Amino acid sequence: MKRKLLEMKALKTYFYTGDGVVPAVDGIDITIYEGETVGIVGESGSGKSVTSLTAMRLTPGKVVEGSVTFDGRDILALSEKEMRGVRGNDMAMIFQEPMTALNPVFTIGEQLLEAIRIHMKLGRSETKARAIEMLRLVGIPRPEQMLREYPHRLSGGMRQRVMIAIAMACNPKLLIADEPTTALDVTIQAQILELMQQLKTSQGTSILLITHDLGVVAEMCDRVAVMYGGQIVEECDVLTLFTSPKHPYTQGLIKSMPTLETNERRLYSIPGSVPPPGSLRDGCRFSPRCEFAQAICHERHPQLEAVGAGHSARCWLHAAEAKEAFQ
Amino acid sequence: MNESLLEVNHLTKYFPIKKGLFNRTVGQVKAVDGLNFTIFKGETLGLVGESGCGKSTTGRSLLQLLRPTTGEIKYEGRNMVGLPPEELRRLRKDMQMVFQDPYASLNPRMTVGELIAEPLDIHQAASGKERTRRIDELLEIVGLNSRYADRYGHEFSGGQRQRIGIARALALNPKLIVADEPVSALDVSIQSQIINLLQDLQDQFKLTYLFIAHDLSVVKHISSRIGVMYLGGIVELANKRELFAEPLHPYTQALLSAVPSPDPLAKKSRIVLPGDVPSPANPPPGCAFHTRCHACMAVCRTDKPELRDVGGRQVACHLYNQA
């Protein structure tokens, strides 16, 4: 069995706003093992980004319950100074918008060297050599010149490569990628995904990949957690997700995607709309949009239960199945 | 079926780059460079391409929201370029647009009713009771409750806002709708609702669509024919089944292979294109794609290939010129 790298247990991150408490993440368990790519899939407002930000302790919300253990250390108990040593060094993050994540008034070199200088404590020329090596690794042409360029001179794909170079500069154990290719064109997306795969194999980095694109999930991930309304509704390995999804929401998501292969005239669609975060209700959060909803679904909240080996779902339809699996 | 509704001949749109004290024109961004295509009645023509390839500029030029630099756009046989504003306004009743961002395209100070009725007022198509009836009817057509007419845009979710945008486009019973990335800003489960709605409306009102998007699977689903654009020109235009079964142009091949497939077992050979799209202000000589093409020949660097018929479809590539 591989070593656990990141473990989140019963994690709850709430936002206290003028309009009341918003439970953006409401009881999440996720474990990432070494060298593994775990995907979190969900629509806007499902709490997937807040989950990843909580792991880095970057969220403005408050962690009201639960624990985050990274590499044997309790992340939530670290001081801010200790946390700075973890961020960028052991865990690094790539964001969706490479334009807003890079500072426009500093050159690529200044931003890349900063990360290496702070965490690796190398000499001046070694720092620069490392920066050039990183830029070459992510496939940027003419890296020496590129250090002197400003972000606006680069295309979206190149900027995202620079972001990856900064994130990977200190050989982090975990890379958190929040929608890393959503802002990019498909051919550029293919380049970036291939690059992330290469880095994963050569550096042994674990990846937490946040996305709404099931195609990207199928290509990149080993295991997947599907989020809805701040909770995980289904978790399994990637093959099971596409071959025998259990939760009606997961099934609906997969069916509602037009693919290059299908030829049906009408698409399946999940009725209703994504609930805004914090709109709590009794019973299953998906029940108002679920075509299989029974009386119990509207009354009692289902638990995440095992429905197979390494496969769990939060649905009353499979509660009986879950009981049998336990006995 | 094969009656043409809109014909585009040699359409170009250049945006000047201005610099210096006297605003001298120092260069031109060739957003659209010599397009030829026809949209037939009742069909959905899809336009795909990456950002900066000129697909939105094309859509806007068709409706004369942008004045083309050269070329002609014939709507039912009549050239629209250079028409006097009054005549143009009358023609515009027949063609409407659905925009990408449902958050930015609805005026936050207008109620849904006012938004939908705005085209009716401008064209004096309905007033009084008739106007109210039409608003209610349009809301119901797009699947919204007619009670919503007095609410403001911010009270709705992204999918509902896009429905309002569609209701607005339908207000004057248009024949042609240019939909510019109508579902890209929406969540996956909402996307399919809007796609189904657009198809239902097409059947119900015999609409013709120009559907612009970058998501190939969406375009494939909704279109009957697809044009693939690269750097201001169409590189391949074909029936969707033929295009997806056997893409001919090297760019189309790379584009199709780049789409991540939602099937973890599908291990396909992917063509990863090197480099980035060149700047349209300074496009490469010859074929615009030759800098990234795996099948580049000497002739590609010097001669620009024309879009020509290759076995029932149109391809702009020197590879198919000998045959």
Domain residue ranges of chain B, discontinuous segments joined by +: 4-94+174-261+268-320, 95-173
The pLDDT value recorded for residue B20 is 81
Residue B311 CA to residue B323 CA, distance in Å, equals: 10
Residues B188, A274: C-beta atoms closer than 8 Å: no
**How would residue B270 be classed by pLDDT, with cut points 50, 70 and 90?**
confident
**How would residue A64 be classed by pLDDT, with cut points 50, 70 and 90?**
very high
Sheet strands (E) in A34-182: 37-41, 62-70, 73-74, 91-94, 174-178
At residue A193's C-alpha, the angle toward residues A158 and B195, to 5°, is 100
CA distance B82 to chain A (A): 35
Name the residue with tokens 């756009």.
B73
Residues A162 and A135 sit within 8 Å (Cβ to Cβ): yes
Mutation target for A interface from B221, B242, B251: give the one with most A CBs within 10 A: B221
User: Which of A110, A104, A107, A112 lies closest to A133, judged by CA?
Assistant: A112
Pinpoint the alpha helices (H) of B142-269.
158-170, 188-205, 216-222, 240-245, 250-258
Comparing CB atoms, the residue among A189, A238, A265 nearest residue B258 is A189
**How would residue A21 be classed by pLDDT, with cut points 50, 70 and 90?**
confident
The pLDDT value recorded for residue A277 is 74
The 10 Å Cβ neighbour count of residue B17 is 12
Comparing CB atoms, the residue among B160, B189, B216 nearest residue A253 is B189
Residues A218, B260: C-beta atoms closer than 8 Å: yes
Residue B87 CA to residue B319 CA, distance in Å, equals: 44
**DSSP single-letter state for residue A226:** E
Per-residue pLDDT at B2 exceeds 80: no
Contacts with B, A 198-237, CB within 8 Å: 212-219
Name the residue with tokens 């014939």.
B74
The radius of gyration of chain A from alpha carbons, rounded to an integer in Å, stands at 21
Which superfamily does CATH assign the domain made up of B4-94+174-261+268-320 to? P-loop containing nucleotide triphosphate hydrolases (3.40.50.300)
A79 part of contact set with chain B, CB < 8 Å:
no
Q: State chain B's maximal CA–CA distance in angstroms.
A: 68
Per-residue pLDDT at A280 exceeds 80: no
The pLDDT mean for chain A works out to 88
Per-residue pLDDT at A327 exceeds 60: no
Contacts with B, A 94-123, CB within 8 Å: none
Which chain B residue has the Cα nearest residue A141? B275
Residues B226 and B256 sit within 8 Å (Cβ to Cβ): no
**Per-residue tokens: A107:** 């050159």
What value does the mean pLDDT take over residues B196-213? Answer: 94
- Chains A, B: CB contacts within 8 A come to 122
The pLDDT value recorded for residue B252 is 94
Comparing CB atoms, the residue among B193, B218, B259 nearest residue A269 is B193
The pLDDT mean for chain B works out to 90
Comparing CB atoms, the residue among A155, A185, A190 nearest residue B214 is A185
**Using one digit for the tens of pLDDT, what is the confidence trace for B277-299?**
888 888 899 999 999 998 889 99
Chain A residues within 8 A of B260 when measuring between CB atoms: 189-190, 193, 213, 215-216, 218-219
**Using one digit for the tens of pLDDT, what is the confidence trace for A28-40?**
999 999 999 999 9
Residue B70 CA to residue A10 CA, distance in Å, equals: 63
Residue A305 CA to residue A290 CA, distance in Å, equals: 19
Residue A183 CA to residue A157 CA, distance in Å, equals: 9
Report ipTM (2 d.p.). 0.80
3-state secondary structure of B75: strand
Amino acid at A11: L
Residues B170 and B88 sit within 8 Å (Cβ to Cβ): no
CA distances in angstroms from A123 to A89, A128, A143, listed in the order given? 17, 9, 19
Residues A239, B190: C-beta atoms closer than 8 Å: no
Where do the domains of chain A lie, and which CATH numbers do they carry? 4-90+172-258 (3.40.50.300), 101-166 (no CATH)
CA distances in angstroms from B291 to A68, A148, B115, B276, listed in the order given? 48, 25, 46, 9
N-to-C CA span, chain B:
30
What value does the mean pLDDT take over residues B18-28? Answer: 84
Per-residue pLDDT at B110 exceeds 90: yes
Chain B residues within 8 A of A258 when measuring between CB atoms: 192, 195, 217-218, 220-221
Residue B250 CA to residue B306 CA, distance in Å, equals: 15
Which chain B residue has the Cα nearest residue A289? B189
The 10 Å Cβ neighbour count of residue A7 is 18
CA distance A157 to chain B (A): 8
What value does the mean pLDDT take over residues A211-238? Answer: 92
What value does the mean pLDDT take over residues A11-37? Answer: 90
Q: How many residues does chain A have?
A: 327
Residue A110 CA to residue A127 CA, distance in Å, equals: 11
- The chain B residues in contact with chain A (CB within 8 A) are 50-51, 157, 159-160, 187-193, 195-196, 199, 214, 216-218, 220-221, 244, 254-266, 270, 272-273, 276-277
Residues A258, B218: C-beta atoms closer than 8 Å: yes
Residue A312 CA to residue B92 CA, distance in Å, equals: 55
Comparing CB atoms, the residue among A185, A191, A262 nearest residue B272 is A191
Which chain A residue has the Cα nearest residue B213? A185
3-state secondary structure of B150: helix
Chain A residues within 8 A of B261 when measuring between CB atoms: 215, 218-219, 259-261
Cβ neighbors of B125 (< 8 A, separation 6 or more) are B93, B119, B171, B172
**Per-residue tokens: A273:** 């709309």
The pLDDT value recorded for residue A321 is 62
User: Which of B6, B114, B126, B123 lies closest to B58, judged by CA?
Assistant: B6
Residues B192, A253: C-beta atoms closer than 8 Å: no
Per-residue pLDDT at A323 exceeds 70: no
The pLDDT value recorded for residue A322 is 56
**DSSP single-letter state for residue B180:** E
At residue A46's C-alpha, the angle toward residues A40 and A51, to 5°, is 55
Comparing CB atoms, the residue among A218, A268, A270 nearest residue B262 is A218
Residues B126 and B172 sit within 8 Å (Cβ to Cβ): no
Q: What percentage of chain B has pLDDT greater than the value 70?
A: 98
The pLDDT value recorded for residue A198 is 87
The values of phi and psi at residue A191, to 5°, are -60, -45
User: Which of A26, A24, A32, A35 lies closest to A8, judged by CA?
Assistant: A32
Q: How many residues does chain B have?
A: 323
Residue B210 CA to residue B63 CA, distance in Å, equals: 11
Buried b (16+ CB within 10 A) or exposed e, B108-125: eeebbbebbbebbeeeeb
User: Which of B204, B285, B205, B261 lies closest to B30, judged by CA?
Assistant: B285
Residue B187 CA to residue B191 CA, distance in Å, equals: 6
The values of phi and psi at residue B190, to 5°, are -90, -35
Comparing CB atoms, the residue among A185, A213, A242 nearest residue B264 is A242
What value does the mean pLDDT take over residues B142-162? Answer: 90
Per-residue pLDDT at B249 exceeds 90: yes
CA distance A158 to chain B (A): 9
Sheet strands (E) in A147-247: 174-178, 206-211, 223-228, 231-237
**How would residue B276 be classed by pLDDT, with cut points 50, 70 and 90?**
confident
**Using one digit for the tens of pLDDT, what is the confidence trace for A91-135?**
999 988 777 889 999 999 999 998 898 888 888 899 999 999 889
Residues A273, B270: C-beta atoms closer than 8 Å: no
**How would residue B185 be classed by pLDDT, with cut points 50, 70 and 90?**
confident
Element containing residue B27 per DSSP (H, E):
strand B24-40
CA A249 to chain centre: 19
Residue A29 CA to residue A16 CA, distance in Å, equals: 22
**How would residue B197 be classed by pLDDT, with cut points 50, 70 and 90?**
very high
